[in-house]
Amino acid sequence: MTYKNYFKTTSICLFVTFFTIISCNKSDDLNGTVDETLPETIDLTSLPFGGVGETQILIRNQGDPLPDFLSLWLCGLPSNGAGANNASDWTNTDGTWNYELKPQVEGNVTWNHIFDINLDGNGNRIITGNNLPDHPTGIFPIQPGTVAFQYDGNPNIISEQVINYTLPALPQIAQEANCVFFGPAGFSVTGAAIYHGASTLGTDAAAHEMLDRFGGHTDGTERYHYHFPSEDLQNHIHEHESGHAPLMGYMLDGFGIFGPYGENGELLTSADLDECHGHTHPVLWDGEMVDLYHYHWTYDFPYNIGCFKGTPQ
Ligand SMILES: [Zn+2]
Ligand SMILES: [Zn+2]
């Protein structure tokens, strides 16, 4: 809270009586910011491109030694990057991009989904499965003749993958944040991988690559994975009614990733979160309220993780 806001809030509280004292007390959240601007909104027709301006794509092995606010901190870029890179048809004149205008990969392909999350009683969360999601996907490879194919000739199929991870059930914040690698950065409770926000070309994947209505697609490893927390994906996991968003998955350091709504039900953006795209406050964790660090998936870059706050497996 700035002093200016503090005096403003205080004088309003002194001026008015009992009823507003309640709302004044409520206006401070755990981060010490004032929620006078709530409800916060984000315009899906005007999203920032990752890698442009403040929303950086930092690459540790190319000279970026630290993560940064609003940014994605990658460990490196693959040498054989491929993918779609023309977003001009849904780029606004001010340089932002329009999610509503961007085509999607059509289709409703259903899968033989296997997925389990278990606590072993020794402090571990064991995640196993075949990476096939519990919801239908678009048709991959992207079919010639479809609108999506005009922008993205993604030739890869979706196939079964072995998921077998042992994560800490109650993860700890590491002394230093860790950079994010390509491949799975976590797993959604739907049973499929969560990838960070960049393509192998080092651009904003959600803004450039053709995704299905669940915000996912496949790659050269034939692994179905998400880049964007679409409403269809959120509603499939759990429809948001009020308050904090429900758990959407686990990142590979063991911390949870939740949907885009904060403690008061407000829509979060990356600006509300730290350099790794998370924050700490009590959340529902294995059936109890625990004061724990967690990530949020938001509609703006870097979408999910900016760095690992813990130690990834
Ligand atoms: Zn991808
Ligand atoms: Zn939260």
Q: Tens digit of pLDDT for each residue in 17-61?
A: 333 333 333 333 444 444 444 445 789 999 999 999 999 999 999
**274 alpha carbon, closest ligand:** 2
Total count of domains within the chain: 2
Residue 220 to residues 200, 206, 213, 224, 303, Cα–Cα distance (Å): 11, 17, 20, 10, 22
**Same-domain check for residues 129 and 259:** yes
Dihedral sign from CA coordinates of 261, 300, 79, 131 = positive
Q: How much is the average pLDDT of 203-226?
A: 97
Does some domain include residue 30? yes
Does some domain include residue 302? no
pTM of whole model > 0.85? yes
- Give 296 Cα–ligand 2 centroid separation in angstroms: 6
**221 alpha carbon, closest ligand:** 1
Poorest-confidence range of 28-32, 88-92, 277-281?
28-32
Backbone angles phi and psi of 53, in degrees to 5? 65, -130
**200 alpha carbon, closest ligand:** 1
- Tell me which residue has tokens 């205008």: 101
- The token pair that represents 85 in the structure block: 């890179």
Looking at residue 114, its pLDDT comes to 98
**282 alpha carbon, closest ligand:** 2
**Same-domain check for residues 273 and 130:** yes
pLDDT surpasses 80 at 13: no
Question: Which of 181, 182, 167 has its CA nearest to residue 310?
Answer: 167
DSSP-derived letter for residue 258 is E
Q: pLDDT tier at 76 (50, 70, 90 boundaries)?
A: very high
**83 alpha carbon, closest ligand:** 1
Looking at residue 40, its pLDDT comes to 56
- Give 243 Cα–ligand 2 centroid separation in angstroms: 10
**Same-domain check for residues 117 and 246:** yes
**Same-domain check for residues 22 and 140:** no
pLDDT surpasses 90 at 131: yes
Which residue range(s) make up the domain with 29? 1-37
